[in-house]
Amino acid sequence: MNGLETAQNHVLIQDTYFIKGKILSVLYNTGATHSFISFDYVQYFELSISFLDSSLVVSTSTSKFVSTNKVGLDFPLFIKNIIFLIYLIYLLLS
């Protein structure tokens, strides 16, 4: 999805997020049931890894299916000065 499509979609919010003092551009989908981050960024930010009880299979925008059981827990997400603790599912998107 490009910037124009993001701006025209009212359930998506594009913003900047800071992890360990480093900047990450994010796309929030207010209608999504899960939140994801590329495993490349997990390694770049040296994030801790927890494991789901079972694997999750996700259909990506390229119509591929990706299986994962890796997750990051309790990431602080700030929206209008309110802190939400979210979990991020780690996806290997090669």
pLDDT digit string (tens) for the chain, length 94 residues: 444 554 455 577 778 877 777 888 887 777 788 888 889 988 988 889 999 999 999 887 777 899 999 999 988 777 778 888 888 999 988 7
E strand or H helix that includes residue 85:
strand 82-91
Report pLDDT for 86: 83
Report pLDDT for 10: 59
Report pLDDT for 32: 81
Report pLDDT for 74: 87
Report pLDDT for 1: 46
Q: Taking a C-beta distance cutoff of 8 angstroms, is the pair 42, 90 a contact?
A: yes
Spatial separation of the C-alpha atoms in residues 43 and 47, rounded to whole Å = 7
